[in-house]
Amino acid sequence: MREHISGQYDNELGTIRAHLTEMAGLVERQLEHAGTALLQQAPEHADAVIRIDADVNRLEVVIDDLCSHIIVRRQPTASDLRFIMVTLKAITDLERIGDECSRIAKMATDLASRERVRERFTEFDDMTAGVTGMLRDALHAFFRVDTESAADVIARDKGVDRSYKAVMARLIPKMEQEPEAIRALLDLVWCARSLERIGDHAKNIAEYVIYLGHGQDIRHQPLETKQREAQNEPRSS
């Protein structure tokens, strides 16, 4: 009987992990489509982002329920509980990345219907590549509880923020010079902001990995502390 219950418990944990993997994969696909929609002004990719979003939202609710259920019914061990707590946080960030991808998709569709902005803002290539890599590596670090890779993801957010500032510093004077292109330029401003936010969410996921590995909350701490923390031996649980 005891073994039977423990088997159910393992099954439930496995189900949470499987759903989380599925949700993470969907959000990565959303980001890929959103990036293509933006960089290549390809509205069919924008449609794909919106289509996937319903599944992402559904999975957030399902995983949330499973986590609450396992905490109430199964009294998880401390280390399993830590995994469940960060899962609850990570799904919120994943869902918000999905929302930001949907915003980018809508802007990309808008942009495709407007007169094309002639100037090419290569900062968007950098930002898109930057946040796509951050999300991929944050998720990879999450599933392997790899605190060193997680610290690396956290450090890379500064680069995304730099690209964001750089593109804003070009977009704003452009708006002043070409007021007739303001709506298209404003769409680009929103896209830049959304990409920057996606970087923040990927950084959040990386921070949960450090907590998962060391049992310490490093949010709202300076970067040096985060890096030092990542180099420590994981605390046993």
Q: Give contact residues for a copy of itself (rule: CB under 8 A).
A: 57-58, 60-61, 64-65, 68, 71-72, 75, 78, 81-82, 85, 88-89, 92, 172, 175-177, 179-180, 182-183, 186, 189, 217, 219-220
- Are 171 and 121 within 8 A, CB to CB? yes
* Ramachandran angles phi, psi of 122, nearest 5°: -65, -15
Nearer to a copy of itself, 36 or 196 (CB): 196
Nearer to a copy of itself, 73 or 158 (CB): 73
CB of 81: closest distance to a copy of itself in angstroms? Answer: 6
Distances (CA, A) of 106 to 110, 115, 191: 6, 16, 10
CB of 57: closest distance to a copy of itself in angstroms? Answer: 4
Q: Residue 111, SS3?
A: helix
Nearer to a copy of itself, 65 or 119 (CB): 65
CB of 186: closest distance to a copy of itself in angstroms? Answer: 7
Question: What's the distance, CA 196 to chain centroid?
Answer: 11
Q: Which stretches of the chain are assigned E, i.e. beta strand? A: none
CA within 13 Å, CB half, 40: 11
Nearer to a copy of itself, 103 or 136 (CB): 103
CB of 129: closest distance to a copy of itself in angstroms? Answer: 26
